[in-house]
Amino acid sequence: MAPPSKDKPAAEDELWRSVKAGTRPLGSKKRIAKSGPSKKTPPAPPPKKPPPPAAVAPKKEPAPKETAQKAGHDRRSSLRLKRGQLAIEATLDLHGMTQAEAHRTLNAALPRAQREGKRTVLIVTGKGSAKEGGGVLRKNVPRWLQESPLAAIVLDHSKAKDRHGGAGALYVRLRKARPKP
């Protein structure tokens, strides 16, 4: 490699002078400050006040469990009911009824089935309309089964298997009828 020549800096100076000769200043020499982030830190935001305590919402009843097992009903029978393995002895179709009609029918039919010695009842409620968030009967029948007077005769209930109506039906296990003295 050849050593650097001493004439090169002079040649560069001459080139720079020729480029500089064809230029002129842009205008005023007043400079505008850049509009960027300032070096000062922004002031801290004022402390937020804690929100006022919310009004106490009314307590909602807990949703009934898929299987509501009671005393006197063993786990094995409960599982057999849930699996749809118990023979269905009666069917009650509430599908298409109003709440009032369905409640009256349920309160009359289940005690009658118990008196007749029937233990497993399939109750068809229907799935209801998706736009209404599911069926009204589908939501209320499990609750009605846990309320008086039905709570005294219903031993257990569970969502039915698909072959018996799935989400639109319930298996209900009734207590044995007590013989009248």
Query: What are the tens digits of pLDDT across the range 41-65?
Result: 667 777 777 766 665 555 555 544 4
Taking 50 as the threshold, does the pLDDT of residue 67 lie above it?
A: no
Structural Rg of the chain based on CA atoms: 42
The whole-number pLDDT of residue 62 equals: 52
Q: What is the mean pLDDT of the chain?
A: 76
CA distance 1 to 74: 100
What are the φ/ψ torsions at residue 142 (nearest 5 degrees)?
A: -60, -35
Show the CA angle centred on residue 40, arms to residues 39 and 43, nearest 5°: 150
- Cα dist from 54 to 16, 49, 60, 81, whole Å: 76, 14, 17, 44
H or E stretch covering 171: strand 169-174
| More reliable by pLDDT, 145 or 73 | 145
Q: Which residues contact 105 (CB under 8 A, 6 or more apart)?
A: 92, 94, 97
The average pLDDT across 72-80 equals 69
155 contacts: CB under 8 Å, gap ≥ 6: 70, 72, 73, 173, 174, 175
17-34: average pLDDT:
75
| Confidence (pLDDT) at 103 | 92
Please report the sign of the dihedral spanned by the C-alpha atoms of residue 109, residue 115, residue 116, residue 120: positive
157 and 172 Cβ atoms separated by less than 8 Å? yes
Q: Can you give the pTM of this predicted structure?
A: 0.55
Q: pLDDT tens across 108-158, in order?
A: 999 999 999 998 889 998 887 666 667 888 889 889 988 888 888 988 888
Distance (Å) of CA 179 to CA 110, 115, 116, 117, 118: 17, 9, 11, 10, 14
pLDDT band at 73 (very low <50, low <70, confident <90, very high): low
